[in-house]
Every structure is written in structure tokens, then in C-alpha cells.
Amino acid sequence: MQVTDQKLVRKGSQKKFIFGGILIIAAIVLLIITNTKAGAQYFLTVDEIKDRQNEIIGKDIRVSGAVLGDTIEYDTHNLILQFDVAHVPGDNKEIDAQGGLALVLHQAVMNPEANRLHVVYEGVMPDLLQNEAQAIMTGKIGEDGVFHASELLLKCPTKYEEALPEQSAQS
């Protein structure tokens, strides 16, 4: 009798641990799901943005492009930075097939036919912003087709042999 009692107690006590554990796991899963939905940013290329401009207005977008050096304008009074980027493929395999990042960036800048995107960014001009650098921007597209970047990362293919955290190019 006593033994069965003990067993019952044990069974019951194990249940509460399983219940508690499931509760915690469920909470974590819920957190992940809701925050993933809220924080999702779409990776698009300049071409894709031009194609789908109307449906993506106001959404969080991440886009990369080749910086056109001549178009860089920096208003140092208000810290407003503007420049144009030319389309580069979003897929690294494709970039490699076309001869590597440096060449792709160079060709994108030289090609007058390539789609271009005007970018406005408020803040400090990053050290690496220069002609033929790859700009990776996060932000939203306005109805006027201008990309308002809230975050700006830059990569220069020749200088980034080392693995540097991406934030190194951030400002």
C-alpha cells in the first residue's frame, strides 16, 4: 500500500516537471516565432526592387548593390548621405560564375544599362564608402522609388580577405 502511494506521488511529481518544461519550451518557441515575423527583412536585388516596387513599399528590405563613386553626396551639416547603387546579383554563386565580386562590381558600375537605385542614408559616412564598393543596406523603399536606408554596411572585395565581423563597416 505504502509502496503504491509513493509511486503515485512520484508519478504526479514527474508530471509537473514535464508540464513545466513544456511550458518553458512553448514560451521560447512562441518568442522565436513572433519575433521572427516581426523582425524579418527581405533580401532583394536592385532588379527585384524595380520589378516589384509597388508591393514592397514600407516593408523591411535588405539590398546590396555596387556603389557609383560619382554619385556620392554628403551633406555634412545634416549628416545626410546620398548615392546610387547599380544592380549586382544577390547570389554568391552567380557572382563567382561571373568572375568574382571585384569584377562584378566593376562591371555593374561601368554598365550604363544596369538598373540603379537612389539611396538616402542619415548618419555618419562609413569609411569604406567609395566607388565600386559593395553596399549592403537595410531599410524601406518609398513611393518615389528612393531607398531610405537605416543601416549601411560596406564591403570592398580587395580588402576583406580577413574575416571581419560585418559590424566593422557599420556606422
Partner 1 sequence: MLPNIGFGSLVITLIVSLYAIVSALIGVKKNLYKYVESARRALLLSFPLITLTALCIIILLVNQNYEVQYVYNVTSSTMPLYLKITALWGGQAGSLVFWAWLMSIFASAVTLRRWDRDLDMLPWVIIVTSVTLVFFLAMIIAFENPFVRFWSVPGHGEMVAMFQPQGGRLIHPMDGRGLNPLLRHPGMIIHPPMLYLGFVSFVIPYAFGMSALITGRKDDRWIRLTRRWTLVAWMFLSIGLILGSRWAYDVLGWGGYWAWDPVENAALLPWLSGTAFLHSVMIQEKRGLFKRWNMILVILTYSLVIFGTFLTRSGVLSSVHAFAQSAIGPMFFIYIGVTFIISLAFLIKRWDDLHSEGIMTSLLSRESLFLVNNLLFIGILIVVFWGTVYPLISELLTGQKVTVGPPFYTSTTGPLFAALLLLMGVAPLSAWGHSTWKTLGKAIWIPGLASLILLIILIVSGVRSVGALIGMTLSSLAAFVTIHEFWRGAVARHKRSGENYLVALWKLTARNRRRYGGYIIHLSVVLMALGILGIEVFQTETQGRLTPGQSLSLAGYTITYKNLDVFDVADGRNVARAVLSVSKNGKNLGELYPRRDFYYDSQQPMTIPGLRSTIEDDLYIVLVNWEQISSQGATFKVFHNPLVNWLWIGGFLLVIGSFIAAWPTPEKDVEMITKKVMNREYGKLASKSS
Query: Contact residues for partner 1 (CB under 8 A)?
Result: 10, 13-14, 16-17, 20-21, 24-25, 28, 31-32, 35-36, 38-43, 62, 74, 76-77, 79, 90-93, 96, 123-125, 127-128, 138, 151, 155, 159-168, 170-171
Beta carbon of residue 122, minimum distance to partner 1 (angstroms, whole number): 10
Beta carbon of residue 125, minimum distance to partner 1 (angstroms, whole number): 6
Q: What is the DSSP code (8-state) at residue 53?
A: T
Nearer to partner 1, 54 or 78 (CB): 78
Burial category of 167 from C-beta neighbours within 10 Å (exposed 0-12, middle 13-18, buried 19 and up):
exposed
Q: Alpha-carbon torsion 127, 129, 133, 134, what sign?
A: positive
Helix (H) or strand (E) holding 162: none
Smallest CA-to-CA distance from 118 within 91, 92, 142 is with: 142
Beta carbon of residue 128, minimum distance to partner 1 (angstroms, whole number): 8
Nearer to partner 1, 19 or 144 (CB): 19
Beta carbon of residue 87, minimum distance to partner 1 (angstroms, whole number): 16
Query: Where do we find the cell 568572375?
Result: 99
